[in-house]
Amino acid sequence: MFQPSSLQFLTKLKKNNNKPWFDSHRTDYLATRSDFENFIGQVLAGLGRFDPDIKELKPGDCIFRINRDIRFSKDKSPYKPNMGASMNRGGKKSVFAGYYFHFEPGGKSFAGGGLWMPQPADLKKVRQEIDYCFGEFRKIVNSASFRKQYPGLDRSESNMLVNVPKGYDRDNRAAEFLRLKSFVALKPVSDRTLTSPSLLKETLQAFQALMPLIKFVNRSLE
């Protein structure tokens, strides 16, 4: 679980997103980062017990920097008002699907993962695997364990093609999934849960339910 002070720091950072304020609160930032690193370390230890692909990862392999890349952004805020960790086979820069934890107070935290915006060649491989093994894929996303944790894969408008991709018939039985641009599932984490002793257990349960999807997607990328 996280310390209330960590939630307070990120909440204040969102309202004071500038370097002078950040520099004057660097001690608070370092404490929050340490809190997040400790939690991700616990998650990795638990995750490694049921997914050996994650076993050798350390928090530093997974946690993203708080600094934003503002080179091509109209928003010049220098810092992210959140902390995130991507626990992928090979680390956070890996092309493989993995698990993700997003820490952002104000009801914006979540656990989940999958494969986010893959390159065209990798996207093509995943779609082909879904088409060839649709019975297996459908069983994974419709399983009781998956549905208990997630409402389903993200099918928001921004994550869906209008039509099935080129090379597939519109009446393909997997059409609704072939239209996806990313293959991710997310479970909201409330602010109350963030500071609860149950956070680690609930996060690991969410990740374990996601593991069959992770393995399916990564098999297609191999």
pLDDT tens figures, 169-182: 999 999 999 999 99
Instruction: Find the mean pLDDT for residues 122-137.
Output: 98
Residue 47 tokens read as 């995750």
The answer to whether 209 and 145 are in contact (CB under 8 A) is: yes
Instruction: Find the mean pLDDT for residues 36-51.
Output: 97
Report how far residue 96's alpha carbon sits from residue 55's, in angstroms, rounded to the nearest whole number. Answer: 15
Q: Beta-carbon neighbour count of residue 134 at 10 Å? A: 15
pLDDT value for 218: 98
pLDDT value for 39: 98
Q: Beta-carbon neighbour count of residue 40 at 10 Å? A: 25
pLDDT value for 141: 98
pLDDT value for 127: 98
Domain extent for 176: 4-221
Count how many domains the chain has: 1
pLDDT value for 73: 85
